[in-house]
Amino acid sequence: MPAILNQEQLQLLLRKYNNHQATPEERRIVEDWYERVNGDTPNNQGSELSALKETIYGNVRSRTGSGETPPQERNFKLYQSWLFKAAILFLVFLGGAYFYFLKSDVNFVTSHQFSKTKQIKPGGDNAILHLADGSQIVLNEAANGQVADQPGVEITKTKSGELIYKFTGHSNTEDVKYNTITTPRGGQYHLVLVDGTDVWLNANSSIKFPTVFANNTRNVQITGEVYFEVSKDKTKPFIVNTNQTSIKVLGTHFNVNAYDDEECQRTTLLEGSIELSKGNERQLIQPGQQASTYKSSDLIKLKEVDDLEAVIAWKNGYFQFERADLQSVMRQISRWYDTEVTYNGKIPTKEYSGKMPRNAEVNKLIEMLAYTGIHCKVYQGKIIVNPK
């Protein structure tokens, strides 16, 4: 449900209009209000708004070139339905902030909160390719086309920015070289392994893999968060190793969240089937299920996932939270915007659910978070959270 603007918020917008400081969009909103809204002024709105409406009348006349005195019934009048309309227009002006949260209050963020904002920017396609000989290639700076040539494989960067390994001939175990791709905080990357498996790395993640799969299995090692669409090969199971688990697949789509700073590792299956191992424990996972493991135990916990798209929203350009705590939300933001998050006061125990684009500039990010009741400001290159 849209937010209802309070008196202070209305006064701020009207003052900007009357002081000739409003943007064209803000002027359009105010003038649209003046021309369209009818009704009686609500009680307890104060004399200041009454004075402001008279000034607006003069400004509207000067901008439109009208010399006519509008009828009494078209005066700038405020009432509850008017406030509802104003809220919708104001949300549009703020940039489509559609980030919604459960059990949260709405708060208005004024422009003075951004006066000390530094250049905190959303992440992008940033990664480093570490070759077996120790050399490194910064992929977001590399030209399109062939970036490296190793025994049995050609490595190419496409126009869309993905990295593709292409098998070029016969190879043996002596030809196998291990490469690693790492993404920094504020980075992500998409690569295609030599067997055709698609791999997406989230921020602050890595994958170590052989340039060719010459053995009976296809083994890779990951950290952070990685989404796989594994190419089917019944003769060579695909095995993903983390610092906690081993995941065996033949051909399937799944997401692994294995950040060290998260309370547990989560493996979510979207398609096919996988076998997850931790210590002496084994668990077969079916589509729509998520397995959680903890460092302190070999226990594997299974649960059904209501919204699989939320699990891989990061790959599709969104933050999406389902009953997440505040610190979990802010950890994702911290990684993607490559900035430190600190807290003032007691951290609330609410659970949040919502969705927002990952390409939002930091000022829009702060505005969208404010609609959830998460009150933030940017100061000296950090995001400061002020829980209430």
User: Start-end ranges of CATH 3.55.50.30 in the chain?
Assistant: 95-120+316-388
Q: Give the tens place of pLDDT for each residue, 234-251.
A: 899 999 999 999 999 988
How distant is the alpha carbon of residue 330 from its chain centre?
Answer: 10
User: Start-end ranges of CATH 2.60.120.1440 in the chain?
Assistant: 124-311
Q: Give the tens place of pLDDT for each residue, 283-301.
A: 999 999 999 999 989 999 9
Confidence class for position 119, pLDDT limits 50, 70, 90: confident
Determine contact, residues 44/97, Cβ cutoff 8 Å: no
pLDDT of 54: 53
Residue 59, φ and ψ in degrees, nearest 5: -70, -40
Q: If phi over 0 gives left and psi between -120 and 50 gives alpha, with beta otherwise, what is residue 313? A: alpha
Q: Give the tens place of pLDDT for each residue, 157-197.
A: 999 999 999 988 766 666 788 999 999 999 999 999 999 99
Output the 3-class SS for 48-115. HHHHHHHHHHHHHHHHHCCCCCCCHHHCCCCCHHHHHHHHHHHHHHCCCCCCCCCCCCCCCCCHHHHC
pLDDT of 226: 98
Separation CA 308–CA 305 (nearest Å): 6
* DSSP, res 136: E
Question: What percent of the chain stands above pLDDT 70?
Answer: 68
pLDDT of 246: 97
Q: How many CB atoms lie within 10 A of CB 371?
A: 24
60-77 burial, b if ≥16 CB within 10 A, otherwise e?
beeeeeeeeeeeeeebbb
Confidence class for position 214, pLDDT limits 50, 70, 90: confident
Q: Which residue has the higher pLDDT, 293 or 85?
A: 293
Average pLDDT over the chain reads 79
Domain 95-120+316-388 has CATH 3.90.1150.10: no
The two tokens of residue 340 are 């430190």
pLDDT at residue 21 tops 50: yes
Determine contact, residues 179/209, Cβ cutoff 8 Å: yes
The sign of the torsion formed by the CA atoms of 290, 322, 310, 337 equals negative
Confidence class for position 76, pLDDT limits 50, 70, 90: very low
The two tokens of residue 381 are 């290159």
Q: Which residue has the higher pLDDT, 112 or 252?
A: 252
- Residue 320 buriedness (CB in 10 A; 0-12 / 13-18 / 19+): buried
Write the CATH number of the domain with boundaries 124-311.
2.60.120.1440
The two tokens of residue 61 are 């006349």
The two tokens of residue 269 are 């299956």
pLDDT of 165: 96
